[in-house]
Amino acid sequence: MTQSSVKHTVVKDSFAQGTKLPLNLHTLWLVVKRASQAVSGGMALLGEYILKACNWYRSRTGKDRVGVLSVVLAVVLLMLPSDYVVEGAGPALDVLGTVSADSKQQIIEITGLASTNAKPQSDTHHTQGKLLMTTVNSYGVGSTLPNAFVLVNAAIPSRGVLPREAVIAPNQTTQDFEQESTQAMSNAQNTAQQVALQFAKQHHIDTTGAQISMHIDDIGGPSAGMMYTLGVLQKLSQRDLTGGATIAGTGTIEQDGTVGAIGGIRFKMLGAKQEGATWFLAPDANCDDVVGHVPHGMRDVAVHTIDDAYNALIAIGQGKADSLPHCVVK
């Protein structure tokens, strides 16, 4: 039998002097050795600091000791996991555009229209304006946050703090919550398609052969229903309904066309403002949370049905929106 062709090296160490090891084992041994030395050195240094701290503590008076213990206790409490969730403005996405800046996939795609020779609607009618669906970023749903993070964010006006059970049920797993949220988004998209097609037919908008599909990633919940519906109606239209304006909004959509209340509307308005929106369509059921919190340079419009939202879209696009209803406290 011939000698192995695997290269060897001699590990020059007092622990294994003269021992021949394959190169990969030698490397592993060096890593373990140096890590051990680092840990030993770190533990020795930590022990030295602890000893100094103990000596310092013993030399203090009673009041000083109480102060030190209070600081230590406060630090420990700040590092403990919190039962709260932090919310803030999330991304605002144009439902007339693509799922991301580097993607060609339309959020709303309509194909098969007889009036456009079965070409994708996005290829036939260009829109100068935007229809923004708005979102909320939630921190602490999938994993707990330290108390320190929650306290810092509680002092930031653009953030909100909620008990975790207000967002996710006490006995609900994170996986179940995400699945529920994803399903709610899917249901909202399906309802939006049905309501939009029904509305279009009632208003003599050609829908012959229309096949609608919607695509979105990493966003859940039902609150984009109204904006999806408006997006479909814009893509079915033969003209630009937005008039070049950037219009944001939020609200669920019901089968009868009712626009329903949602959560986090203050943060959604902030996210819309960051994306350049000058108009915000809000469910009238959320008006109490809208009044006094509309960002500077943005005009709110209260809507109750998809008819209200569509009429607002037309009025804004035509520059005749002065008379549109503001939100008022009920």
CA-to-CA distance for 261 and 133, rounded, in angstroms? 15
Kindly tell me the sign of the dihedral angle through the C-alpha atoms of 311, 313, 318, 320: positive
- Give residue 174's pLDDT: 87
Mean pLDDT of 6-15: 33
Per-residue pLDDT tens digits for 174-227: 899 999 999 999 999 999 999 999 999 999 998 999 999 999 988 999 999 999
Q: What is the pTM (predicted TM-score) of this model?
A: 0.78
| Closest to 282 (Cα-Cα) out of 267, 297, 260 | 260
DSSP-derived secondary structure letter, 295: P
Joined tokens for residue 160: 């909100």
Contact between 262 and 286 under an 8 Å Cβ cutoff? The reply is yes
CA-to-CA distance for 38 and 29, rounded, in angstroms? 14
CA-to-CA distance for 122 and 213, rounded, in angstroms? 12
Percent of the chain with pLDDT over 90: 61
Tell me what the pLDDT averaged over the chain comes to.
84
**Lowest-pLDDT choice from 51-55, 147-151, 297-301:** 51-55
- Indicate whether 292 pLDDT > 90: yes
**Lowest-pLDDT choice from 57-61, 73-77, 268-272:** 57-61
Burial 241-257 (b: 16+ CB within 10 A, else e): bbbebbbbbbbbbbeeb
Backbone angles phi and psi of 196, in degrees to 5: -65, -45
- Indicate whether 108 pLDDT > 90: yes
The backbone region for 231, taken as left when phi is positive above 0, alpha when psi lies in -120 to 50, beta otherwise, is: alpha
- Indicate whether 228 pLDDT > 70: yes
- Give residue 281's pLDDT: 98
- Give residue 14's pLDDT: 32
Contact between 158 and 89 under an 8 Å Cβ cutoff? The reply is yes
| Closest to 140 (Cα-Cα) out of 127, 130, 129, 149 | 149
| Closest to 264 (Cα-Cα) out of 237, 286, 238 | 286
Per-residue pLDDT tens digits for 115-136: 653 344 444 456 899 999 999 9
